Amino acid sequence: MLIAENLTKIYGQQTALWQLNLEIKAGEIFALLGQNGAGKTTTIHCLLGFILPTEGAAYINGLEVTKNLTVARKQVAYIPETVMLYPNLTGAENLAFFSSLAGFKYSTNELEAYLTYAGLQAEAHHRRLGGYSKGMRQKVGIAIAVAKQVKALLLDEPTSGLDPKAANEFSSILKNMAEKGTAILMATHDIFRAKEIADRIGIMKEGNLVSIIKASSVTTHALEELYLQMV
Amino acid sequence: MTRLLLKNFVRAKGLMLGLLLLFIAGCISLYIGHRFIEQNKETVEQSAHFQQENIERYVEYNQSSIGTLLYYLRFGLVHQAPHLVGLAIGQRDINPSVISVNIRNLEEQKYTSALMNPMYQLLGNMDFSFVLLYFFPLIIIAFCYNLVSEEKEEGIWDMILSQTAQPLQMLSIKLGIRFASVMGVLLLLLTLAGLGLNIPLDKAFVSFCLVAIVYVVFWFCLTCLVISFHLSSSQNALVLLLSWISLTLILPASVHALSTYLYPIPEAYGTVLESRDGYHTQWDKPKEPTIAQFHAQYPQFSSYNHPSDQEFSWLWYFAMQQMGDQHAANDAKVLAEKLRARGAFSQAMGWVIPTIHTQLSLNSLSQSDLLHHLHFLEALEDFHEDKRLYFYPKIFENAAVAEEDWSDFGLAFHQKPLEISGAQTVLPPLLASFLLLFLARMNWRMKMFIEKN
Amino acid sequence: MQTRTVGLLAKQVWRNTVKNRSTIWLFGVFNLLLLCALLSGYQYMHSQQLLALENSEEVRERWVNNPDKHPHRMAHYGYVAFRQKYPLSFFDFGMDSYVGNVIFLEAHRQNTVNFSAASLSNGLLRLGEISAGMVLQLLVPLLLFFWGFSLVASEREKGTLKIVLIQNVSAVELIAGRALGLFYLSTVVFLPTAIIGGILLGLSDLGLTSIGLYGRFILLLIAYVFYFGLLSWLAVLISAYSSSSRASLIRLIGCWLFFTLMLPKVSQLVGQTLYPAPTKIEFDTAVEEELIQHGDSHNPNDPHFQALKDSLLRAYGVESPQELPFNYSGYVMREGEKLSAETYQRHQENLVGIYQKQQQVVRLTAMLNPYLAIKNLSMAFSGTDYSAFKDFQEQTETYRYTLAQTMNELQIQHISNKVESSADKKAIISRQHWEDLPDFQHQFLSLGQVIRQESISIISLMVWGLGLFLVTNRFAQHLKAF
């Protein structure tokens, strides 16, 4: 579903990403671990078509992203580290707006259902976003991603800054989506979370994907040691 | 999506406050325009009344000599203003709208100025054209400077891009809402102006509205170009503010300075000195050449002559007065020509500087510009000449004062028939707008991929 | 407050801003703009001065060269006075372009001062003029706000503010240091202007310069320095007070618009509404009606002049005016001139009073608005304010009155009472008398007068300085580090 082929991004003298090869199948959760600046976000941005790769290509559902931007974007959803939305609109209105950007039109009931599914308490649905906490905004972000009904989901450190309970709920939503056949790529610092929900874990260092580990093959402790060794 | 973007727009307090302020400023300007029209009307009524009174009084005192009477009598010509002048007062507060002249030397009476507190001329009239020229662009800038950069700086832009590959559509809706709101205020103000100031919906008013609309369109296109560079909010604000200052302050002022430098008018002083000397020196000269010149100018009065046994005659007196105008004629002609040249120069600059074009067009449509005043002065010359030609034979024959029906001499009115050159009125800023919009489109396409860093 | 710390902080502002390439560009653009404004202003002023001088000489020559004639003819021949531009007017055009330049002075009649630059322009002038004063008052503040909006706010955003404050720098020192640094930047724009202005001032060869002129120039410069100091301080204070640099920028631009665009317009509207001024026709009618009430010298049966005649005849014990030992019509005209001049003067003073009240409203808002304060002050020092024009108008009226009355006196003394017409040989006096009338010389207001007129503006700048100082002291205790 998500394919990176020799994906390379060079800014001037600096190599942000070097010949990354990766394939994530439908229903699979793939976690990217690595320090700041290791190339995780660059990978995600290339897959989203936010940036042009210097070399190589990114594919979503068999379509090369940069050449089929419009169609490719329709098939992928994205949740950034901090979901920022319009503070003057309510949660439901934000969801309605972003869905309509993607070409979906939902009734109020449907909007509420998505928000509830994403874990946002009902009383907040029609409050303006200006008063939301970070976790609440993140949930609206999830609702937007879910409502887009996509085959691939890209997440950039989505649980950082969330309290443990919210992070937990978040994990179960991701698992649920994967079970329905969504390919998920998640960049994270959180080794424990990665081990818990991912099928495979990739470790990145200085733009290179140095290792891919099957999550079920290691314990959390072993994964941590491995990570510290590599980076 | 439009509905939601509209909601978001309406809920932004700052933006609504901006619209409100714009509307209030517009209303104040309409009030100022209304007051100006009323004052103008009052001036005309007062002048009419005053002239009548004046004529009656002098006729009463001077029953014996029509020459003495016409030495004093003054006849007013009104430079009629359409009601549209309330929207663009232009030069009307500097140039008087009624000039009263006696049939003596015209040059001494022609250039009289209105009474006005110069502080107000320095600070400027806040008429509608000012609000349009200065406030509308500011509001447009405030509405649009962060059209894209706001989303970027708030971190919303990534979310938007991940949802659609065509953010331009959403931006056009956002821009459209802003455009519609500003245009709404403009049209509302123009409607209020039409109703409140009793402006007839004629060609002039329609053209006036068109010029105003095109000006607003121009500023939207300019902001589009600036935001298509994807700079930060602060940078956008700075660039737009600098454009505003250049277009509304620096460039017009430079063009004005250039026009005075290119066309200096020492002749203005010349008219004063020449007309004064032209007349007064005749007193010390033999009478015959003066009268001969008068006859040369007016062959129809050749039959009248200065009675050789008398020191003074009105024929001689008015012939002397005529010399004042004759001496100053050349300077007066050059003065008018140079003023026209200044006008033409600024008009030409208007093709490249839309603010200049708009101001000049608005003034021209409301007949408050220099060219209309010059036209009025020409009409004044004709008016003055008519009065002379009418009264000269009566004076020379010393007709009885009582024979004339003096109540007939009310104010006369002048208004230049409206001339609108269709293309010239809106074309230059429209062309500039298209150019800017085209550049913005090109620029946007080039920056379609939002490169980080 | 430690001066060393303040100096250090100021230097940091300087270094950081100058490092930026755009700063160098802005320095260049502003200096170029100011240079152009100064040179073109000087060129314009000089050409106008020359024109006025040449024309004045011409007027004098023509006056003196009049042949022997009846003095009343000379009273009608009259004089033409030209308003001379003050040698500093190139620095700030002020109201110069809106007031007339030439006035025809004759007996019996007060003409308007005509041919203002504005009346010879086609409306573009109404969009403002570029002079060094305008750039310094209007545009340089914007530049200062642009350099200053982030000086404290962005440090807070970046988190460096905490570190600075922990290093034992007090909030007052921080604000003072930043403001001083910003002020240094303004001098780069201001100093060249001051120097070039001074040089241009010395260049004038028309004999109009005086020692007071340099005094005024120096005071003008001091006023500007103070103004820039105020604005630097204001910019930093707002930056310190704002939660983000964007908010700070918007606030400062808002201040700028409010001060330069909104407040002057609104105050002028208030002034005009509170103190309505008469139109020309109203004014003329009022003067004329009052004159008629006093006595109309054109009406042979007017009771006032009839009474005058009777009393004269009685005093000299003669039967008819022709028997009086002096020229009777000259006497009547002297009385008439006195009466009409007094009446006109009263109305004119009333009108000027209204104008000044209107201006007072605007001037009072200068208490809220440093822009108007410096504008008024700069105009006054540059000799381009209303009082300069009013003074010129008064001088011309005095001269006109003197001229008319001198001619009337000559008539009373020298002209026989029995002449039939002014062309009569007995009605002619020597042209020598023309030369005895001194030339009209436009005198400029003295420095003392100017300072007295503009005391409100000076006070308002002081009040602003004091106010900012107090606000800073109060506010500094609550400066948020994050």
- Looking at residue B195, its pLDDT comes to 95
C-alpha distance across the termini of chain B, in Å: 30
- With CB atoms and an 8 Å threshold, state whether C127 touches B252: yes
- Looking at residue C420, its pLDDT comes to 64
* Percent of chain C's residues with pLDDT above 70: 96
Q: Average pLDDT in the C103-114 region?
A: 91
Confidence of residue C55 (pLDDT cuts 50, 70, 90): very high
Instruction: Inspect the structure and tell me whether chains C and A have 3 or more CB pairs less than 8 Å apart.
Output: no
The answer to whether residue C278 neighbours chain B at the CB level (below 8 Å) is yes
- How many Å apart are CA C418 and CA C424, to the nearest integer? 10
Contacts of B160 in chain A (CB under 8 A): 98, 101
Average the pLDDT over each of B125-134, B392-401, C184-193, C416-425 and give the range with the smallest value.
C416-425
What's the gap in Å between the CA of C32 and the closest CA on chain B? 13
Confidence of residue B446 (pLDDT cuts 50, 70, 90): low
- Asked whether residue A161 carries a pLDDT value surpassing 50, the answer given is yes
Q: What is the pTM of this model?
A: 0.89
Q: Average pLDDT in the C396-423 region?
A: 86
- How many Å apart are CA B30 and CA B186, to the nearest integer? 12
Please identify which residue in the block is written with the tokens 């491995």: A226
Confidence of residue B451 (pLDDT cuts 50, 70, 90): very low
Q: Which CATH number fits domain A2-75+151-230: 3.40.190.10, 3.40.630.10, 3.40.50.300, 3.40.50.2000?
A: 3.40.50.300
- With CB atoms and an 8 Å threshold, state whether A98 touches B163: yes
- With CB atoms and an 8 Å threshold, state whether C122 touches B266: no
What's the gap in Å between the CA of C124 and the closest CA on chain B? 6
- Looking at residue C50, its pLDDT comes to 93
ipTM of model over 0.95: no
Beta bridge pairs of residue A57: A5
Contacts of C298 in chain B (CB under 8 A): 61, 72
Confidence of residue B452 (pLDDT cuts 50, 70, 90): very low
b/e burial code for range C92-113 (CB count within 10 A of at least 16 → b): bbbbbbbbbbbbbbbbeebbbb
pLDDT digits 0-9 by tens, B78-135? 999 999 999 999 888 888 889 999 999 999 898 888 888 888 888 888 899 999 999 9
- With CB atoms and an 8 Å threshold, state whether B248 touches C280: no
Confidence of residue B205 (pLDDT cuts 50, 70, 90): very high
- How many Å apart are CA C481 and CA A226, to the nearest integer? 41
- Asked whether residue C230 carries a pLDDT value surpassing 80, the answer given is yes
The answer to whether residue C39 neighbours chain B at the CB level (below 8 Å) is no
Please identify which residue in the block is written with the tokens 């005529």: B322
- With CB atoms and an 8 Å threshold, state whether B166 touches A70: yes
Nearest to C362 by CA among C289, C426, C271: C271
- Asked whether residue C403 carries a pLDDT value surpassing 50, the answer given is yes
Domain-wise residue ranges, chain C? 3-476
- With CB atoms and an 8 Å threshold, state whether B311 touches C423: yes
Q: What letter would DSSP give residue C104?
A: E
| Contact status, residue C70 vs residue C428, Cβ threshold 8 Å | yes
* Percent of chain C's residues with pLDDT above 90: 47
The answer to whether residue B140 neighbours chain C at the CB level (below 8 Å) is no
Task: Supply the mean pLDDT for chain C.
Answer: 89
- How many Å apart are CA B103 and CA B109, to the nearest integer? 10
- DSSP assignment of B344-357 equals HHHHHHHTT-HHHH
- Looking at residue C482, its pLDDT comes to 66
Checking DSSP bridges between strand A2-11 and strand A29-34, what pairing results, if any? unpaired
Q: Average pLDDT in the C95-112 region?
A: 91
- Asked whether residue B453 carries a pLDDT value surpassing 50, the answer given is no
H helical segments located in C277-369: 280-294, 303-316, 328-365
What's the gap in Å between the CA of B180 and the closest CA on chain C? 24
Interface mutation target, options A15, A48, A78, A86, chain B, most CBs of B under 10 Å:
A86
C-alpha distance across the termini of chain C, in Å: 22
Confidence of residue B447 (pLDDT cuts 50, 70, 90): low
- Looking at residue B128, its pLDDT comes to 95
Task: Supply the mean pLDDT for chain A.
Answer: 89
Nearest to C362 by CA among C267, C479, C237, C220: C267
Contacts of B451 in chain A (CB under 8 A): 51-52
pLDDT digits 0-9 by tens, B314-360? 999 999 999 999 999 999 999 999 999 999 999 999 999 999 999 99
What's the gap in Å between the CA of B247 and the closest CA on chain C? 10
- Asked whether residue A225 carries a pLDDT value surpassing 70, the answer given is yes
- With CB atoms and an 8 Å threshold, state whether C362 touches B312: no
Instruction: Inspect the structure and tell me whether chains B and A have 3 or more CB pairs less than 8 Å apart.
Output: yes
Contacts of A77 in chain B (CB under 8 A): 162-163
What sign has the CA pseudo-torsion C369, C370, C373, C379?
negative
Number of inter-chain CB pairs under 8 A, A vs B:
80
- DSSP assignment of B43-107 equals HHHHHHHHHHHHHHHHHHHTSS-HHHHHHH--EEEEE---GGGGT--GGGGTS-SEEEE-SS-SH
Contacts of C282 in chain B (CB under 8 A): 43, 46
What sign has the CA pseudo-torsion B132, B137, B139, B144?
positive
Tokens of C474: 């109060």
| Contact status, residue C55 vs residue C82, Cβ threshold 8 Å | yes
| Contact status, residue B410 vs residue B48, Cβ threshold 8 Å | yes
Q: Is B207 exposed, middle or buried (0-12, 13-18, 19+ CB in 10 A)?
A: buried
CA A229 to chain centre: 26
- Asked whether residue C185 carries a pLDDT value surpassing 90, the answer given is yes
Domain-wise residue ranges, chain A? 2-75+151-230, 84-149
Q: What letter would DSSP give residue A183?
A: E
Contacts of B46 in chain C (CB under 8 A): 279, 281-282, 285
- How many Å apart are CA C203 and CA A222, to the nearest integer? 87
- Looking at residue C31, its pLDDT comes to 95
- Asked whether residue C123 carries a pLDDT value surpassing 90, the answer given is no
Written as one letter, the residue type at B78 is V
- DSSP assignment of A44-86 equals HHHHHTSS--SEEEEEETTEETTTSHHHHHHTEEEE-SS----
- Asked whether residue C422 carries a pLDDT value surpassing 70, the answer given is no
Q: Average pLDDT in the B235-262 region?
A: 91
pLDDT digits 0-9 by tens, C392-401? 999 999 999 9
- With CB atoms and an 8 Å threshold, state whether B268 touches C120: yes
What's the gap in Å between the CA of B252 and the closest CA on chain C? 6
